[in-house]
Structure 1
């Protein structure tokens, strides 16, 4: 059956059964700079080719991420708020700023999350991952998400923020609510969402005051005390950046880990190859992120009339970068639909590209390498026993559960 190119890519229901790879492939072939109408908006340009997305990502002056121009999501943040819930008390996270302000934020934050700055963090990640994996009963059906995929990156985040490790499950609840605007499980009602924001806001206010009164060496202190453009951080912007950190620091790793276990279940030869040769972990980690494509899209807004792929882009037009489609681009990746942990040419866009590339990408890949290194010592095979419940989201390629048997070996 041919893909229907008129399918609305914004519809979150489109992704409940899985990423529409065939539709993205058809768009790359037939209409890579594609106009997608919206029932409640002006519409947007959908980019599905790797080269076009790289071009846009390298030009933040022409293609803006700024809040005042709509921000980094399909919906307009300046109209409906950062999380689509209409909250006005949340400030602007640095992902929704353009240079030079965005550059100043990155100058402060990137060194703080570099593995070199964090000392022996890999050893601490290994210790946490070992403890989590020790608790998983081998040979029995389990749900891997609450046992490993979710807690591992969130425990790392607790360290980065200077929080107690037992906060991880609370962070898990909050981050799902922040990104789950189209999922009734995460946004059960406006009242429930308001209660979640009130709870998180109280936590963030206490943390903000504590870090300003007694600064530490953690990311929360950095966000609470940094100055950008000569102005001290406001609590509103601290709140916005904390939401960004919560989402960015765990969603990519969590969902890459889950999708990779499913990929190894479907491709047992790849798992055996990794068990036999751990040097493959170096290329396996980026392949896991490419394959998972945990962030489906980011959005930009044209600041002037321009042209892309033979199409006239007007000033003010929304331009949506479909990273998932780019990560299967046949012009860039050999056998793009194959999960290949030995893939050496892998310029994937799983962490974005250019000015807004994920600041924690190296930490994310480190956690994947460590987790699968430990699993390779203990697990002969992964046997996924059924379909996963997926996020109802056009933004995150997320799995709510992963029922699997880890066969010891």
Structure 2
């Protein structure tokens, strides 16, 4: 029996991807935080879920993996049940379980394998290489005239970094871009045109993954693909299916967060030129301002858990088996945590956002993502006096990724 509906000004369906097409529904989230912070959201095609909208509840659930599971067999980390429709919601039976959909202690084993591959010692002077790539990309941008910054900078920058980390040719970034859009775009007809088209995309990706897996097993290197292909988890070598699942996770996690934080932040600077002037006058602010960029953008809208026993959250009784969905986009605008929470402010300090998650599943590549944002905006500050938004960007139709398909701007020369 579902809980009685809470009396709100509206009864929003937070699962409906149309809610996010025009803009992030911050007013809806604000109403829920005030009147129903643990909100029962019915589903037309499922059992319903509890939506968490306050920062404190999101942090609490994230730090209790024994009580709130993200494991594949319990439904996984998305609103839909991965164990029913696959990791990408496309019935992709050949895709195994990524470590984001695994609970401790096995999840901890994965992190111990992967974290050294992202350590400063392993990455060496990667910041210099990111800077060189950024300068090359900016050299191809036409200043003082309208351009779409997504294919020119926001998308290629993190994907070129991913290509390096995977040890694949740089020119593959366009394939990676195409694949990752399809993996997370289950509700967007531009990315999921038909089941046949998705099958073709998955087929091309599986062929790439098979070759990568075989080559890295035969001749391991220092790259992340080698680390994943040769991982030992629970005393057993990782299977190809699980290598594929984790490869998708690396591609999506290493691309979407940086790409969309960069795009949203350019739009934020266009809307508030005084904030951009602060960066231009004091680029040292970028050492901490990247956290505010991620908070304000919140590129990942939600993550899901499943209650493993009866419990209580925010005065609501949560039953064993209930889905609990953490809306990061709401937690990052929680007035109880952030002063003037809707305002983009590059001078904020100690920004405890949940844009990279928190607790056991905090993003392993968060420092690398912030590094790329820091480098990109430092170099932009050398050349751009201000940004002019030419037209509202087209958004992903998605309840998961707060993505921009394009960003028509003019970069006015300094």
Q: Would you call these one fold, judging by a TM-score over 0.5?
A: yes
Look up the match of 1:230: 235
Could you give the per-residue CA deviations for residues 362-409 of structure 1, whole angstroms, max 9, x where no partner exists?
A: 000000000000000000000011111100000000000000000001
Structure 2: tracts of 5 or more residues without a match = 1-6
| Distance across 1 between alignment mates of 2:120 and 2:17 | 36
SS state of the match for residue 41, structure 1?
A: coil
Look up the match of 2:389: 384
Q: Is the 8 A contact 2:8 2:35 kept in 1?
A: no
Look up the match of 1:25: 30
SS state of the match for residue 42, structure 2?
A: strand
What TM-score, normalized to structure 2? 0.98
Could you give the per-residue CA deviations for residues 173-195 of structure 1, whole angstroms, max 9, x where no partner exists?
A: 00000000000000000000000
Residue of 268, 272, 291 corresponding to 1:286: 291
* Offset, 1:345: 3.0
Residue of 96, 121, 129 corresponding to 1:124: 129
Look up the match of 1:206: 211
Alignment of 1:169-208 (within 5 A): 169-208=174-213
SS state of the match for residue 380, structure 1?
A: strand
| Distance across 1 between alignment mates of 2:241 and 2:395 | 32
Look up the match of 1:276: 281
Q: What is the number of equivalent residue pairs in this alignment?
A: 408
| Distance across 2 between alignment mates of 1:106 and 1:18 | 34
| Distance across 1 between alignment mates of 2:262 and 2:404 | 10
Q: Is the 8 A contact 2:357 2:363 kept in 1?
A: yes
* Offset, 1:4: 4.1
| Distance across 2 between alignment mates of 1:115 and 1:313 | 42
Look up the match of 2:3: none
Structure 1: tracts of 5 or more residues without a match = none
| Distance across 1 between alignment mates of 2:146 and 2:103 | 47
| Distance across 2 between alignment mates of 1:65 and 1:273 | 40
Alignment of 1:349-368 (within 5 A): 349-368=354-373
Residue of 94, 102, 105 corresponding to 2:107: 102
| Distance across 1 between alignment mates of 2:210 and 2:343 | 46
Change (3 A) 1:335 1:116: farther
Residue of 2, 11, 15 corresponding to 2:20: 15
Residue of 130, 146, 149 corresponding to 1:144: 149
Residue of 162, 167, 171 corresponding to 1:162: 167
SS state of the match for residue 298, structure 1?
A: strand
| Distance across 2 between alignment mates of 1:72 and 1:213 | 32
Q: Which runs of 4+ in 1 moved over 2 A?
A: 2-5, 114-117
| Distance across 1 between alignment mates of 2:82 and 2:204 | 22
Q: Is the 8 A contact 1:3 1:23 kept in 2?
A: no
Residue of 51, 54, 62 corresponding to 1:49: 54
SS state of the match for residue 122, structure 2?
A: coil
| Distance across 2 between alignment mates of 1:266 and 1:383 | 8
| Distance across 2 between alignment mates of 1:390 and 1:329 | 23
What TM-score, normalized to structure 1? 0.99
